[in-house]
Structure 1
Amino acid sequence: MSAADPGAAAPVTLTAPAVKADRPRRRLSVVRVFLGIVLVVALSAGGYLGWQWWGSAQAAEAYDPWFAGYVDVTATPTYDFEATADLAGNDVVLSFIVAATDDACAPSWGTHFSLDEASDELDLDRRLARVKQLGGQIVVSFGGLLNTELGTGCTDKDALIAAYAAVLDRYDVTTIDLDLEGANLTDSAAATRRATAIAELQADRRAAGEDLAVWLTLPVATGGLTEDGTNAVSAMLDAQVDLAGVNLMTMDFGSSKDADETMAEASIRGVTAAHRQIGTLYSRAGTELTDATVWQKIGITPMVGQNDVAGEIFDLDDAKALNTFAQEQKVGRMSLWSLNRDTTCGSNYADVKRVSDSCSGIDQGDEKFVALLGDGFTGRPVAAAAAVTTDEAEEIGSIVDDPATSPYAIWAAESSYLEGTKVVWHKNVYQTKWWTRGDLPDNPVLNEWETPWVLIGPVLPGETPIPKPTLPAGTYPEWQGTVVYEKNDMILFDGVPYESKWWNQGESPDAAAANPDGSPWSPLPEAEVKKLLDALPK
């Protein structure tokens, strides 16, 4: 990503000093047995733990999100990332490592400097040593929009692995971020080649007791990842790469953004859709993950201030709203493009609508995006690099929905559901977009239009069934099995008003919930019941 580039892309993640071989990797499964016991005890006492079933509690135990802002290493004027005073800016993502113009298997900084030249002309090695001396950690980004990512240009697998390794070894990092966009994203042969090389590199490093976390940085629309984006994730998973996560570039939405949406609202829509897609991609690859774990595998990177698309401005309020959302959902990573731009433009920069790579284009006052977006992200990249993805199918399969602690009826395969019906499934509330029968609410689909269900949110602690609105006795006749009812007749059944859809006799309204299509009775909409209650004499 580059503020000066149209359609700027999001950079990559490279982590600080390598974790030593005797340092145990954090496995999400370590706490599961303990939490399972806690849950059983809690349920036996009639309690309910967790925001989103016990998988959420397990994931929250391991939750340690990190923040690192992107720095454009070769931008002019040079940004002194090593001198940053903000705690949130101590950890940085340096961009971009790309293929050299004269050797596609040689890593370079933006095609301008080889690794040695960057040390000599930018004093980069010394500046990175200073970052580490001050307690900061380094993340390196490969790719970007304008140049050729190593996996795209270098067709020799061994040479490609060596090129990636040279960067990791030179800068002593344990996290890499592959920023794929443009031709680097659409080249399917490159995707396979890159994934194969990264899988081998990661396996070799882990076998040697070293951590290697791999992030994909991908463009996102308000409807989620593009098809090229989902293909990129699939290529990595098919090659057995253990992805640390997918970093979503929430910027430059273009026509996918509604005119009345704020940038934060558009970003949240895109991230939420991508969350479903990422969970589905893991499921299709044979790894089942809880919703909470998938959130931890998501990163968010907005372009602060004026975006490359005219009229798209990510302001300070957007930063606050996006940070709140990220903390509520417990996303694993937050970044920004870029630290270079996190300042108000000077008086000699007249046209703030033209994107600058050294200022945001808005009046920030005394505030910094790095502080607003990084608030609450207290983890560090190098610690997060130790995490290893584990299958959670057993946990998901063990979820049992309790009618006594569910606000709506539990989904059943044999039941049919009319548009607008809400159900509970796997401790989440779903609502139908159209009539459906037999469609799993959490069926893994990549696109919203493939499922009749919309995820509303988790069942909350302490919830109980929401009572159906009732009317006083005598408002309508009580239902009787021996009475013949005509279309539009009204009755009460346990106080709940129903309307007859056709002639019937002996058909209990009790069956309407399980078989709304086949039942001759339809419960009166809640809004209508409230109107009737309001009209009754007080």
Structure 2
Amino acid sequence: MAPNASSRTLFTLAATVALTLSGLAAAPVGQAVTADPIGLNAPYEYLGWGSPQKPTDVMNATGVKQFTLAFMLSDGTCNPKWDGSRALTGGADQSAINAIRAAGGDVVVSFGGWSGNKLGEKCSSASALAAAYQKVINAYGLKAIDIDIENTEIASSTARQREISALKIIKTNNPGIKEYVTIGTTTTGPDAAGTDLIRKGAAAGLALDGWTIMPFDFGGHNGSMGSVSTAAADGLKNTVASAYGYDSATAYRHIGISSMNGKTDESDETVSTSDFTTMLNYAKAHHLARFTFWSVNRDRQCPSGTPAGDSCSGISQSAYAFTKIIASYHG
């Protein structure tokens, strides 16, 4: 006999409570449960650079609940260390992660970046690279990782394939983990190396959660940084759709934007809060997998006479203006 409306309501409520309690019981000790998928709206903070703010102060000021912490690098071998030099665990980085989680947040660890020794190049095989990633995942009970593939690593076909194969191993061995890959872009979408990386991922059957572009340092562009960034994201969507055979809506849900705030490395590029709002509206309209930026360190006005750099944006702004916009994205 079919239950009546009242019975259905009670059954649904009981099931929801049971699932919630079950999920809380299964959560690792010290690991926070956040409302948004880990990585969805996690701005970058570099704890070893750019006069980093205390993450819990950022949380209190902005409402942001998650961070993408950069960068995990090679110590010169196939061994991960923060910035290639600071101990994986037991130091200030771990203390920051513990504090973020104690305050109800969580973290994504980002591997790579432009500078330093990359694990993707120092590890000689996909299995060794996967083992290096797994070491970090295990150390922090991570639910998401970001692989920021730039410079010589993205330029190497061998390194590109090694990264894809390693990420496939991680996906297999860590059910439910979210994987994001971050790459540079042209004004119309990924360049040849980025396109090849995406095609390699599709060919390997890598169910990546978010292919993410960094829409800045274009070397020349027309229009506002908001409009050129969304145009580049459309190009990424088309590349992902073509490689994976996704329809447009599905492809959008597998891409992301990682912008930069204020003045970038190019003299003709200034990313304003208005540009961020354009990107936010685009992300909401298409339900992007990820909307983030580089970086919290720079999300403040420079002292008078100081140019944009590691620890300030180079524009007139209120503190954390960009982080607050990121924090408002919920898919």
| TM over 0.5, shorter chain | yes
Give the whole-Å Cα distance in 1 for the aligned partners of 2:148 and 2:314: 24
Q: 1:189 to 1:178 in 2, by over 3 A?
A: same
Q: How big is the shift at 1:127?
A: 1.7
Gaps of 5+ in 2: 1-22, 28-35
Does residue 92 (structure 1) correspond to residue 62 (structure 2)? The answer is no
SS in 1 for 2:105: coil
Structure of higher CA gyration radius: 1
Amino acid in structure 2 at the alignment position of 1:277: T
Indicate if the aligned counterparts of 2:299 and 2:323 stay in contact, CA closer than 8 A: yes
Match of 1:233 in 2: 198
Match of 2:57 in 1: 83
Q: Which amino acid aligns with 1:145?
A: W
Query: Does 2:204 align with 1:215?
Result: no
Partner SS state of residue 165, structure 2: helix
Tell me by how many angstroms 1:140 deviates.
Answer: 0.8
* SS of residue matched to 1:66: coil
Q: 2:315 matched to 1:362?
A: yes
Structure 1 segments, 4+ long, off by >4 Å, are 19-23, 62-65
What does residue 297 of structure 1 align with?
Answer: 254
Deviations along 1:251-290, whole A, 9 cap, x unmatched? 11112x12xx11111111111111111100112xxxxx22
- TM-score, normalising length: structure 2: 0.84
The whole-number CA distance in structure 1 between the counterparts of 2:294 and 2:55 is 13
- Secondary structure of the structure 2 residue equivalent to 1:218: strand
- Contact kept, 8 Å, 1:65 with 1:378, in 2: the verdict is no
Partner of residue 110, structure 1: 83
Instruction: Report the residue type matching 1:356 in the other structure.
Output: G
TM-superposed CA distance for 1:242, in Å, is 1.4
Kindly indicate whether residue 162 of structure 2 is the aligned counterpart of residue 163 of structure 1: no
By how many angstroms is 1:237 displaced? 2.3
The one of 139, 151, 174 equivalent to 1:182 is 151
Question: Aligned residue for 1:311?
Answer: 268
Q: What one-letter code is carried by the residue in structure 1 that aligns with 2:238?
A: R
In the alignment, residue 93 of structure 1 is paired with which amino acid?
A: T
State the match for 2:330 in structure 1. 378
Deviation at 1:65, TM superposition (A): 8.9
Instruction: Give the number of equivalent residue pairs.
Output: 300
Partners of 2:50 and 2:317 in 1: how far apart?
21
8 A Cα contact 1:301 1:337, kept in partner: yes
Which amino acid is 1:201 matched to?
I
Distance 1:321 1:141 in 2: 25
Q: Deviations over 1:29-83 (max 9, x none)?
A: xxxxxxxxxxxxxxxxxxxxxxxxxxxxxxxxx9999311001121042331233
Tell me by how many angstroms 1:311 deviates: 2.1
Aligned letter for 2:100? V
Q: CA deviation at 1:378?
A: 2.7
Matches within 5 A, 1:211-290: 211-255=176-220, 257-258=221-222, 261-283=223-245, 289-290=246-247
Residue in 1 that maps onto 2:164 = 195
Structure 1 unaligned runs (5+)?
1-18, 24-61, 284-288, 380-538
Identity of aligned residues (%): 26
- Pick the structure with more helix per residue: 2
Instruction: Name the CA shift for 1:100/1:63 in 2 (closer, same or farther; >3 Å).
Output: closer
Task: Give how far 1:236 is off.
Answer: 2.2
RMSD over aligned Cα, in angstroms?
A: 2.3
Measured at CA, do residues 161 and 325 of structure 1 come closer, stay the same or move farther in structure 2, by a change above 3 Å? Answer: closer
Question: Do 1:322 and 1:373's aligned partners in 2 also have CA atoms closer than 8 Å?
Answer: no
Q: Quick one: structure 1 residues 299 and 187, their matched pair in 2 at CA, closer, same or farther if it must change by over 3 Å?
A: same
User: Residues 323 and 374 of structure 1 are in contact (CA less than 8 Å); yes or no, is this contact kept in structure 2?
Assistant: no
- The superposition leaves residues 279-307 of structure 1 with CA deviations (integer Å, 9 ceiling, x where unpaired) of 00112xxxxx2211111111111100010
Give 2:140's aligned amino acid: Y
